Chain A
Amino acid sequence: MTTAPGSWHLDSALVRRYVDAATDAVTAASVEAHLLRCAECRRSIAAGTVDSASVARRSAIWTDVVDRLDAPRVGLLERVLRRIGVRDGDARLLAATPSLQLSWLASLLLALGFAVAAARGRDTAGALFLLVAPLLPVAGVAAAYGADVDPAYELSMAAPYRATRLLLLRSVSVLVASLGLAGAAALALPASGWSQAAWLLPALGLSVTTLALSTRLSPALAAAGVSLTWVSVVVRLLQLDRTADIAGASTQLSFLVLIVAATAVLAVRRDQFDTRSAA
């Protein structure tokens, strides 16, 4: 800085460094204090900041400031998703999922609560829970995406985003949420050990089967078919007093096979989701 009191001005090298944000905080503060009083230096600063690099940098900063001030507060679910590391775009896509809404999850908890309460103090402890727990993720998957449940389905079909990706993203999240809730509820069951986890593979198997069937049928129809089959099988086992079979190795193994087979069908037929409506 030239130092004649009252009449000094910022030299051009300092202006350059200030514009490039290359000064330390104390120097920047004294430059700014001077700029407030000196019109001539303000002009020279303005002239020195028109090159494209500094304009681009300032406009990026400005966009960021505007974005932070202007972006409306996002919903609770989206904040939670972002907090656990979901990318902001994906969090928005998930926040629209009908079966990830609080009301849906609350009714899940209610259903699980009833199942646990009914299972307590009975000979067939856990049978009702076994019946109900795998149905919840099936319903959730069916209500995650599709013409029947997604109000903006038509808009999403006309957009370039892959329908398969949207469907899988939502289904996986619904599965994680509903399996998590069912898992927590299972801990409250009176039974212990393996039988407490016997519902898990059926739940996964039925959910993936629903998705695989959705490549041909509407998700609601697929879920209804899968659920009916499951209910009739469990009721039959109840009648025969053989519900313990579900926790048996051979049944669990067959559900594992079902998961693998349904996943394979899903992988082969995944493009059906993109072309279905345009077919």
Chain B
Amino acid sequence: MSTTVVVDEVTRSFGRTRALDGVSFTASRGVTGLLGPNGAGKTTLLRMMATVLAPGGGRLSLLGLDPAQPEDRLAIRRRLGYLPQEPGFYKHFTAFEFVDYIAILKEMTDRRSRHDEVRRVLALAGLTEVSGKKIRALSGGMRRRVGLAQALLGDPDLVVLDEPTVGLDPEQRLRFRELISAIGEGRTVLLSTHQTEDVGALCSRIVVLDAGRTRFDGTPRELRELARGRVWLSDDRPVGAQLSWRTGEGRHRNLGTPAAGVELIDPTLEDGYLLLLGERALADAA
């Protein structure tokens, strides 16, 4: 499997804030999830993948090309699909017109074949019925789907999705997951989220970012296994648990260093993530 994304000791500061502090990882075909608390640097990193932001330091290679070189950057953009965290819309446009607008920016000059492509991605995102509706009349979830539809134009090799499932109801999230996993079958998809369920359901690789640094790089199973032997149930709140909460069944679920003889249970991906980030992740979840 060829490597499509190489991030090597990448840094970036905004004023005095160090958004990325030497991040390194690689990604290939399939879905790679960037997981981390708010402010971890996920969006900064994804904007670099989308060629709209340059690294302050370090090396970045996308599809074997160097985004710092104008010719390479253009070549990357021709094979890129991007859903920003807050995609802006022209609200007086219909869903069709907006996606068609982006298709024009993607150099699809022939009107008929471009319209065919627009219809194809609108159908993929389940928007055929509302394609003639103005964007201002669409719900937040529908707009998110318009954002996803435009990211699929031209069948890109590299798809960058910043929080694609935020603001969606559970049913829509499920549809999105289905769609994104289908996209990831032949392409490289990079997505960010702070929801561990999304990552568990979708990603073959997980990169955990925290405070601008890589904290974990591996499979969902490996992240889950970090918590193996460190999750247990008890009737009362135990001493020595890093985290402990009362579940719906009335027992306490505890993460941390267990005493001998406790009732250990199978960890989840979220357990691994919480133990990895500790208090910071908890503060974010609160």
Contact = CB atoms under 8 A, between A and B. Distances in A.
A274 B70 contact: yes
B97 A92 contact: yes
Interface stretch (A117-125, A154-162, A205-213, A251-259): A154-162
Given A71-B96, A74-B97, A155-B84, A89 B77 contact: no
A278 B53 contact: yes
A92 B100 contact: yes
A63 B89 contact: no
A158 B88 contact: no
A154 B93 CA distance: 17
Contact of B106 (A70, A93, A161, A277): A161
Interface stretch (A9-17, A145-153, A233-241): A145-153
A72 B94 CA distance: 8
A75 interface: yes
B52 interface: yes
B104 to A, nearest CB: 5
| Interface size grouping (class) on chain B | 35 or more
Contacts of B84: 154-155, 158
Interface in A62-84: 63-64, 67, 70-75
Contact of A161 (B96, B105, B112): B105
A274 B88 CA distance: 19
Interface in B91-118: 92-94, 96-98, 100-102, 104-107, 109, 111-113, 115-116
A40 interface: no
Contacts of B213: none
B112 A64 contact: yes
A101 to B, nearest CB: 7
Nearest to A89: B104
B25 interface: no
A100 B11 CA distance: 40
A147 to B, nearest CB: 10
Given A72-B131, A152-B101, A158 B74 contact: no
B101 A93 contact: yes
Interface of A: 63-64, 67, 70-75, 88-89, 92-93, 95-96, 101, 150-161, 166, 271, 274-275, 277-279
Given A93-B104, A155-B88, 12 more contacts: A71-B115, A72-B94, A72-B132, A96-B90, A158-B50, A158-B52, A158-B77, A159-B105, A160-B74, A160-B78, A160-B106, A279-B54
19 contacts: A63-B116, A67-B112, A72-B96, A75-B93, A75-B97, A89-B109, A89-B111, A92-B104, A96-B90, A96-B101, A101-B92, A151-B90, A152-B87, A154-B87, A155-B150, A158-B77, A159-B77, A159-B106, A161-B105
Interface of B: 47, 50-54, 67, 70, 73-74, 77-78, 80, 82, 84, 87-90, 92-94, 96-98, 100-102, 104-107, 109, 111-113, 115-116, 119, 131-132, 150
